[in-house]
Amino acid sequence: MRSIAVVNQKGGCGKTTTAVNLASYLADFGKRVLLVDCDPQSHASIGLGVDTDNLTTSTYDVLMNPQVSIDDVSVEVTENLHVVPSNVVLSAAEQQLSGQPDRENRLRRKLDVVEGNFDYAIVDCPPSVGLLTFNAIVACDEAMVVMEPSFYSLHGALKVTDSINLVREQLGLKKRIRVLLTMFDKRTRFSQEFLREAQIRFGREMFDTVIRRTVRFREAANWGVAISHYARTCTGARDYKALTQEVIADEERLTSEEFEPVKEAETSGLERGMDDWILSQPGPHFVEGGILFSLVAPEANDVELIGSFNNWDREHGVVLKRESNGVWHTTVDLGPGRHLYKFVVDGAWRPDPANGNRTDPNEDCIIEVYRRG
């Protein structure tokens, strides 16, 4: 089984669209494909028509419960294409896993078990470089770094590439990185220059295929199908088909040279690498629509978010929603700048345990929002 993690900490650059369409074309080409949705926003699952509001098991259980296997959770959405769906409950996994043994190997151990059942595993990552993305990187032989022509996206791509190289050096693992440019608009000079710049920076790692910008993607996602099934002849569909052919063409090269799959990784080195990694992005997550805050508090009756963005006004705190596993969450659209916040749990102030970025160890948590790219 060949495994590919689709990554970039920047949201909205085309990761999920790539994961869904690559997986679906691979299945069309007769490959047995498993798509693992590792994003609490679950757009890949929704995009393939899974009803994520009524899941009994999900990626969350695969990572958290040693008894749950990928086979228990995966759903067949079309011929040859299986999905391990996620939902917002997954947002708690990073926090709950921190400090637990073997936290960075959870996905790898589960994928190892189904190794013989699939030709490809594609993992759609969240727009952050936390423990979920780290699990995906460790689990997969290859990383497909996706970016759209924007400097935030390039920055994210360089950062994630650095982190993969770090893991690679610390563990002496050969992990392949390939970079894909999406939402390319050849009519704009910026797109053209960006492509040239990316080719210089990433060289051989860039895919020859570039995905062009087309409105059809949004339409396809709304219908809960991959673009290959919705509009076979549009440019986007042709581009993803070409990408898939390029990925398949790599198979031979991979088996013949350079490539060596991860087997038993040396955990101590990995943990160090992961700590560096996680420290680079603790706490809340940047998601489409704002910042996703979450807190594990099964015992609580009421959790609110209060901060500089609502003038620390107790009357107007943002009320968090509770999931059945005791995780509370909310998404707030914060403007650029430095924001301070705390949770109020049943009336008591509490800093966010997942956010080490504080004004003081016990004080307000800090989240910095940069101008959106």
Ligand X SMILES: Nc1ncnc2c1ncn2[C@@H]1O[C@H](COP(=O)(O)OP(=O)(O)O)[C@@H](O)[C@H]1O
Rounded Cα–Cα distance for residues 18 and 146 (Å): 8
**Nearer to Mg ion by C-beta: 60 or 343?**
60
Q: Give yes or no for residue 89 binding ligand X (CB under 6 A).
A: no
Q: Give yes or no for residue 16 binding Mg ion (CB under 5 A).
A: yes
Q: Give yes or no for residue 103 binding Mg ion (CB under 5 A).
A: no
Residues in binding contact with ligand X, number by CB under 6 A: 18
Helix, strand, coil percent values for the chain (each to nearest 5):
40, 20, 35
Who contacts 56 (Cβ-Cβ below 8 Å, separation ≥6)? none
Q: Give yes or no for residue 15 binding Mg ion (CB under 5 A).
A: yes
214 binds, among Mg ion, ligand X, none (CB under 5 to 8 A by kind): ligand X
Which of these, 55, 13, 44, 52, lies nearest to 145 by C-alpha position?
Answer: 13
**Nearer to ligand X by C-beta: 246 or 271?**
246
Q: In what helix (H) or strand (E) does residue 291 lie, and over which residues does it extend?
A: strand 290-296
Find the shortest distance in angstroms from Cβ 285 to ligand X: 12
DSSP conformational letter for 105: G
Q: Give yes or no for residue 13 binding ligand X (CB under 6 A).
A: yes
Q: Give yes or no for residue 40 binding ligand X (CB under 6 A).
A: no
Q: Give yes or no for residue 187 binding ligand X (CB under 6 A).
A: no
Number of helical (H) and strand (E) elements in the chain, helices listed first:
13, 16
14 binds, among ligand X, Mg ion, none (CB under 5 to 8 A by kind): ligand X
**Nearer to Mg ion by C-beta: 42 or 294?**
42
DSSP 28-85: HTT--EEEEE--TT-HHHHHTT--GGG-SS-HHHHHH-TT--HHHH-EEEETTEEEE-
Which amino acid belongs to residue 6?
V
211 binds, among Mg ion, ligand X, none (CB under 5 to 8 A by kind): ligand X
In three-state secondary structure terms, 165 is helix
**Nearer to ligand X by C-beta: 105 or 133?**
133
User: Is-contact 328 345, C-beta < 8 A?
Assistant: no
Rounded Cα–Cα distance for residues 33 and 244 (Å): 12
Find the shortest distance in angstroms from Cβ 123 to Mg ion: 11
**Nearer to Mg ion by C-beta: 329 or 339?**
329
Sole binder of ligand X in the list 160, 211, 226, 332 (CB under 6 A): 211
Range in contact with ligand X (rule: CB under 6 A) among 59-67, 80-88, 208-216, 297-305: 208-216
Please give the structure tokens belonging to residue 81: 């294409």
Q: Give yes or no for residue 17 binding ligand X (CB under 6 A).
A: yes
Region 39-68 residues binding Mg ion, contact defined as CB under 5 A: 43
- Where does this chain bind ligand X (CB under 6 A)? 11-17, 43, 127, 182-183, 211, 213-214, 217-218, 221, 236
- Where does this chain bind Mg ion (CB under 5 A)? 15-16, 43
